Structure 1
Amino acid sequence: MTFAHDTEAALVAAVELVNSAEEPDTLTEAAQLDEFFRKHVYTGAHTGDAVELMAVRALRAPLRRMLTSERGTAVRLVNETLVKYRAVPQLVKHGEVDYHIHAVSAAAPLPVRIAVETAMAMIDLIRSDEMSRLSTCADSTCDGLVLDLSRNRSRRYCSTACGNRNAVAAYRARKK
């Protein structure tokens, strides 16, 4: 299934944010948050200070719960997030990006925008019964999240590092 651009973008950003908590933690400095902000083409308010960094880091656990829960729990978590931040979906167009949905103002703090955009993206996954697109890495030593947007649903690892490590281990096991 093909999802709207903003749905895919929000899910990719949320999975990267959640996975940043894995060892080694890749979100410990304001410069790393700045890079995350640019990479995922966020717009609106971004202070780049330590307070914002801590608030974004604090989102990782709740987003992980939202992204990995069974469908009924995910629905509850999505609804709680949308109510908490008084999300009012609106179509917007800015820069090179065509019309897409924003549910809070551009002046809302970055952590609020990330939480709400993730919740809005989860709505599409839940409604289309595509929660299986989110899973935990098949590497037994990793708890990273995997977002599988492939047509054949073949993605099993959160990163090429995990995939390569398992391929090498399988190769060595076959050679014994």
Structure 2
Amino acid sequence: MLFARDTTLALAAAVDLVNTMPETDVDGADRLETREDLQRFLAVHPYTGSFTHDQREVDAVRGIRPRLRALWLTDRAGAVPLVNAMLRDGHALPQLVIHEGYDWHIHAAGDEAPFATRILVETAMAFVDIIRSDAYERVRECSADDCLSVYIDYSKNGSKRYCDTGNCGNRMNVNAYRRRKAAESA
């Protein structure tokens, strides 16, 4: 599945942000509690615009995670009102922009908007592309027995079953192998 670069980047950031939630973590840990946690997120997913780098900003970003996760818990038609609400709440006004390191792409929230709002709007814009491309079946939750992490399946044939956060594919293959060996021994 191929999307514009800004869409792919926004989707990757949304996946990683949702996967900081305790309910998506294999160990049940919250991976976004401190300013340092947010700095690590920003090191991987740089955003433009203003930042306060304070605990209120961390809390605001933490606060949007359930709204983002909801996009993985619905289907294409169910995602439409969620995406529209995100765009409305963020006062989205799509504009083409170009800046260092990026060719022309869309920003739909101003640089002065709170960081959590910018994440929400950029994620909503990325999901607009998924919905319009009729590619919602690629919005997935990990198939591992013990994992609820989310991902976007970019594989050519749409066959990816496991997330990249907890080595789930390997873990499930080892479990299946052990079950087969135990059944052979019995």
TM range, smaller chain: over 0.9
State whether residues 20 and 32 of structure 2, in contact with CA within 8 Å, keep that contact through their aligned partners in structure 1: yes
TM-score normalised per structure 1: 0.95
> Which stretch shifts more, 20-29 or 93-102?
20-29
Q: 1:104 — aligned with what?
A: 109
Shift of 1:46: 1.5
Task: Please state whether the residue corresponding to 2:97 is helix, strand or coil.
Answer: strand
Q: Distance in 1 between matches of 2:32 and 2:87?
A: 25
Q: Distance in 1 between matches of 2:139 and 2:49?
A: 28
1:146 aligned onto 2:151: yes
Shift of 1:165: 1.3
Task: Please state whether the residue corresponding to 1:68 is helix, strand or coil.
Answer: coil
Task: Please state whether the residue corresponding to 2:72 is helix, strand or coil.
Answer: helix
State whether residues 146 and 156 of structure 1, in contact with CA within 8 Å, keep that contact through their aligned partners in structure 2: no
Task: Please state whether the residue corresponding to 1:146 is helix, strand or coil.
Answer: strand
Same amino acid, percent of matched pairs: 47
* Structure 2 unaligned residues grouped into runs of 5+: none
- Write out aligned runs for 1:1-176 (5 A): 1-21=1-21, 22=25, 23-159=28-164, 160-176=166-182
Shift of 1:65: 0.7
Task: Please state whether the residue corresponding to 1:139 is helix, strand or coil.
Answer: coil
Q: Distance in 2 between matches of 1:156 and 1:107?
A: 38
Name the count of aligned residue pairs: 176
State whether residues 139 and 163 of structure 1, in contact with CA within 8 Å, keep that contact through their aligned partners in structure 2: yes
Runs of 4+ displaced beyond 3 Å: none
Q: Distance in 2 between matches of 1:41 and 1:53?
A: 15
> Which stretch shifts more, 47-56 or 145-154?
145-154
Shift of 1:136: 1.0
> Which stretch shifts more, 49-58 or 150-159?
150-159
State whether residues 68 and 134 of structure 1, in contact with CA within 8 Å, keep that contact through their aligned partners in structure 2: no
Letter in 1 for 2:8: E
State whether residues 72 and 141 of structure 2, in contact with CA within 8 Å, keep that contact through their aligned partners in structure 1: no
TM-score normalised per structure 2: 0.90
> Which stretch shifts more, 26-35 or 158-167?
158-167
Larger Rg: 2
CA RMSD of aligned residues (A): 1.2
Shift of 1:68: 2.9
